Amino acid sequence: MKALWSALVAGLVLGAVAIATVRIDTDARALLGAESDVAAALEGAEGRRLLIAIIAPDPSVRANGVNAAQDFLRTAQGIEPPENPVPLLDLLWRARFELAPPPPGAFEVEALTGELAAARASLTTAADSLVADRLLRDPTGSFRRLVAAFAQSLGKAGAANSDAVVMPVMLEEAPFDAEARRSFDRELTDRVHATGAEIVIVGPRSISARVGEVMRDRSTLVALVGGTLLLAWLAYILRSATRVVGVLLPTLIGLGAGTVAVQVLQGSVHVVALGFGGALLGLAMDYPLHLVTHSGRSAARRVLLGALTTSIAFASLLGSGIPAVGQVGLFVSTGLATAAFVAVALDRSTDSLVFKGSPMSRPQIGWKLPGLAAALVAGALITFALPGPGARELFELPSDIARDIERVGALTDTPPARYQVEASAATLESLLARQRDIGEALDRARTDGLLGGYISLATRLPAPDAEPLPDAEALRPALEAAMAKSALRPEFVETILIEYRAAAARPPTQPKDVAGLRDFLAALGISTDDLGFTAPILLHDVASAEELAQALAPLDATLADRRAGLAAEVERIASRVLACLAFGIALCALLLWLSIRVVREVAEIMLTSLAATATAAGVMAIVGGGLGVFELVALALVMGIGLDYAIFLTLARTREEDVAAVRSVALCAVTTLIAFLTMSILGIGILRDIGMTVSIGVAAAAVAAFARQAAKRNGMP
């Protein structure tokens, strides 16, 4: 009893240290590593962009919401001042006839009069003062259409939906801080909601912060519900407060030790590592459960052997090079080893559990080892036959976040696009022509049902008129009539015609004409080099990438998967995780051999664990269309569970040990299933996948370990 009190005090001290020192990290970059392209993107210009949508059917409510947002943004920390739009406006002005030729009818008196009236009205709006005078000097409407098409690139609010206003914002160049980003978004949201308007904020940093917050909250829920169910289960099966405390203390001390170890060595504890708290709750309880159902010191040796092998499997993940995965390895290996040693130390402080009824009979199978080998091969073949981790998303976005992204995409007329076709040409004019040629092929493909639609620089601009621009003198009569109807000074006609002649005579824009404007062109989706211009055509709702690629082949246009970079990174991560697991498995086999030195028993233990792992991998690959990275990480846990069960059932030397092993493994399996089924039901994304993988693996490991090799058991007393 004294040992229990000592352990309780140690647990309380460790818990206090953990609570006082641990900093929970929700940065999604830890899922890929700081050196990944995706993680680096959060620090770049694209990662710092935000789109803020203010939505309200009532114009006055919407205006109040916009004003509240703008007031907040003017005083908020971390907002970059709006970029000077003058250089971009100058480019659009010079190339207005090249980018947006006047449509048919633009030179009629009524059309010219309408454009002049709109330009005069814009002079009264301070926000449009930068462009209003140019609108007056271009009554053809070309410049107005360009400003409307690129409103967001010019830092202006706008939306495709009249019920909403979308405001582009650029964050200051500073390291990404998830907590600061959540605080910023919450305060802005509260300000807008107070006006009665709705607000949606999307951007790489905001999305990353929200994903981390959702994962943290759901991890907490899983831990609370799972912990409550486990406590109820322990109270039911152990029927003694002393036994319950004896089982819980090693687990909780292991949980605290793992948390503090990660904090001390890594500086923070990632929410994904904490998500594996369910792994500790479920698996670390196995060790005191084994001990409470066994008598004698052999059980303690097997608990330590099982804990060491499982800890080795997880510790190998430290070499993955991925922060979150490495933390999982350190967290679980430290926690399990600590829990096992504490359980052994407390073994004699609790009385053994006495079972009622007849012991469970184990089937004898002469072909167990070949059967396990066959299951291992079948699971491996299924897993490798299906797409690899790169074919899947690294993690699934929560539904509300995905819905917000879709809403803002609809408001800005930019639906999500996985595929793109790049168009390149020597001048801006020929770039648009190239995009329109490809667009014709895409229109035919859309008619054939190969894609839902596409967006490009050319689709944002009006199609060019086949007729050439009229001579300036031929335009003069209509322009003079429009000036008279608009009550503007007649001498202003000359100013307009001078500007018209300059734009009409201007040669197509080449890269040398836009030197120093690359950042502004990037805002339009255009990149430049010495050879010319390049701009993507974004494709959405692609039904068949292969057929679409064939349809574009005659135009020498290549279909590119925008997820290819992320897929390559995910495959890189998966390869490193697999290599670490293989190394861990080899170390486990070596440790078993050094401890047991019986080839057949080592083979049976390893095959049991590997067969359960391969079965879980195969089933999850079928269910998910391939294994994800974090299912691979969860397989390390399945491996450890299989080793634990197989060690006790394979090394039972007497009838009494065999009966105790069957009962303890059954109790452990149910306990672990409670923890991981809770995770699979209540968890989302990564947590759900981990829970499902381990649940399947636990069931497979229990079944594989339960059957016994007939040849070995014939002589058992």
Using CB atoms within 10 Å of the CB of residue 508, give its burial: 0 to 12 exposed, 13 to 18 middle, 19+ buried.
middle
Across the range 681-695, mean pLDDT stands at 84
511 within a domain of the structure (yes/no) = yes
Within this chain, do residues 536 and 582 fall inside the same structural domain, yes or no?
no
Closest listed residue to residue 307, CA positions, set 291, 323, 324: 291
DSSP structural state of residue 362: P
Hey, is 285 helix, strand or coil? coil
Average pLDDT over residues 64-71: 91
pLDDT in the model for residue 421: 92
pLDDT per residue over 300-349, tens digit each?
888 888 888 888 888 888 877 777 778 888 888 898 899 888 888 887 65
Share of the chain above pLDDT 70, in %: 83
Mean pLDDT for all residues in the chain: 82
Helix or strand or coil: residue 531? coil
Residue 33: per-residue pLDDT: 53
Q: Is residue 502 one of the residues assigned to a domain?
A: no
- Weakest-pLDDT range from 47-51, 158-162, 608-612, 707-711: 158-162
Classify residue 699 by burial, with Cβ atoms within 10 Å: 0-12, 13-18, 19+: middle
Q: Which residue did the predictor score with more confidence, 182 or 175? A: 182
Residue 356 included in any domain: no
For residue 711, pLDDT beyond 50: no
Exposed e or buried b for every residue in 617-647, given b needs 16+ CB within 10 A?
Answer: bbbbbeebebbbbbbbbbbbbbbbbbbbbbb
Beta strands in 24-177 (DSSP E): 24-25, 49-55, 164-170
- Give the integer Cα–Cα distance in Å for 202 and 81: 19
3-state secondary structure 294-312: CCCCHHHHHHHHHHHHHHH
Q: How many domains does the chain fold into?
A: 3
Tokens of 698: 């636990």
pLDDT 10s digits, 152-165: 666 555 554 568 88
Q: What is the pLDDT of residues 600-615, one digit of tens each?
A: 899 999 999 999 999 9
Same domain flag for 555 and 412: yes
Mean pLDDT across the stretch 623-642?
Answer: 85
Structural domain contains residue 489: no
Exposure of 315 by Cβ count < 10 A (0-12 exposed, 13-18 middle, 19+ buried)?
buried
Which pLDDT does position 314 carry in this prediction?
Answer: 82
The residue segments making up the domain with residue 411 are 404-466+507-561
d(CA 338, CA 249): 11
Which two structure tokens, joined as six digits, stand for 25?
Answer: 């990290």
Q: Could you tell me if 584 and 701 lie in one domain?
A: yes
CB neighbours of 648 closer than 8 A, spacing ≥ 6? 290, 299, 302, 306, 661, 664, 665, 705
The pLDDT of 552-562, averaged and rounded, is 88
Instruction: Give per-residue burial for 270-282: e unless 16+ CB within 10 Å, then b.
Output: bbbbbbbbbbbbb
Examine the fold and report which residue of 561, 580, 596 is the final residue of a domain before the chain moves on.
Answer: 561
Predicted local distance difference test score (pLDDT) of residue 156: 57
pLDDT: is 452 or 284 the higher one?
A: 452
Given a contact cutoff of 8 angstroms between Cβ atoms, the answer to whether 115 and 526 are in contact is: no
Residues 320, 241, single domain; the answer is yes
| pLDDT higher than threshold 90 for residue 63 | no
pLDDT at 410: 79
**Per-residue pLDDT band at 72 (split at 50, 70, 90):** very high
- Nearest Cα residue to 316 out of 629, 640, 717: 640
pLDDT, average across residues 669-673:
90
Contact 699, 613 (CB under 8 A): no
**pLDDT bracket for residue 446 (50, 70, 90):** very high
Q: Select from 540, 561, 582 the last residue of a domain.
A: 561
CA distance 697 to 367: 21
Given a cut of 50, whether residue 621 has pLDDT beyond it is: yes
Domain presence at residue 671 = yes
Q: Give the number of other Cβ atoms within 10 Å of residue 472's Cβ.
A: 16
Look at residue 19 in the predicted model and tell me its pLDDT. 66
Of 32, 546, 710, give the one whose Cα is nearest residue 325: 32
Cα separation, 589 vs 50, whole angstroms:
52
pLDDT, average across residues 568-590: 86
**For 483-496, what is each residue's pLDDT tens digit?**
888 888 888 889 99
Question: Per-residue pLDDT averaged across 417-426, rounded?
Answer: 90
Query: What's the confidence (pLDDT) of residue 27?
Result: 61
Average pLDDT of the residues in 287-296: 80
- Least trusted range by pLDDT, from 111-115, 500-504, 513-517, 595-599: 513-517
Task: Place 716 in a pLDDT band, splitting at 50, 70 and 90.
Answer: very low
pLDDT band at 712 (very low <50, low <70, confident <90, very high): very low
Q: Is the pLDDT of residue 197 over 50?
A: yes
Task: Look at residues 167, 182, 203 and tell me which one is the last residue of a structural domain.
Answer: 203
Helix, strand, coil percentages in the chain from 3-state DSSP, rounded to 5: 65, 10, 25
Contact status, residue 620 vs residue 686, Cβ threshold 8 Å: no
Q: Could you tell me if 21 and 66 lie in one domain? A: no
One domain, residues 588 and 620: yes
Do 624 and 518 belong to one domain?
no
* pLDDT above 50: residue 714: no
Name the band, by pLDDT with cuts 50, 70 and 90, for residue 149. confident
The tokens describing 522, both together, are 């990037």
In a domain, 178, yes or no: yes
β-pairing verdict for 364-365 and 708-709: parallel
Taking residues 211-224, what's their average pLDDT?
81
With residue 320 as reference, give the H or E element that holds it.
none
Residues 565 and 563: their CA atoms lie apart, in Å, by: 6
Is residue 119 very low, low, confident or very high in pLDDT (cuts 50, 70, 90)? confident
Mean pLDDT, range 614-642, rounded to an integer? 87
Q: Are residues 298 and 423 in the same domain?
A: no
188 in a structural domain: yes
Tokens of 338: 């600590």
The CA angle 696-698-700, to the nearest 5 degrees, is 70
Is 485:109 a contact under the CB 8 Å cutoff? yes
Question: What's the confidence (pLDDT) of residue 706?
Answer: 84
Q: What is the pLDDT of residue 39?
A: 54
**Residues 6+ positions from 262 with CB-CB distance below 8 Å:** 268, 269, 273, 327, 330, 331, 334
Predicted confidence at residue 287, as pLDDT, reads: 86
pLDDT at 514 (0 to 100): 84
Residue 192 forms part of a structural domain: yes
Cβ 659 vs Cβ 354: under 8 Å: no
User: In terms of domains, do 448 and 546 share one?
Assistant: yes
Q: Are residues 232 and 268 in the same domain?
A: yes
Question: What CATH number is attached to the domain comprising 167?
Answer: 3.30.70.60
H/E/C letters for each residue in 454-487? EECCCCCCCCCCCCCCCCHHHHHHHHHHHHHHCC
Tokens 């009190």, residue located:
5
* 555 and 578 part of one domain: no
| pLDDT beyond 60 at 351 | no
pLDDT of residue 173: 81
Rounded to an integer, the average pLDDT of 168-184 is 84
Longest CA–CA span in the chain (Å) reads 116
Based on the fold, state whether residues 630 and 686 are members of the same structural domain.
yes
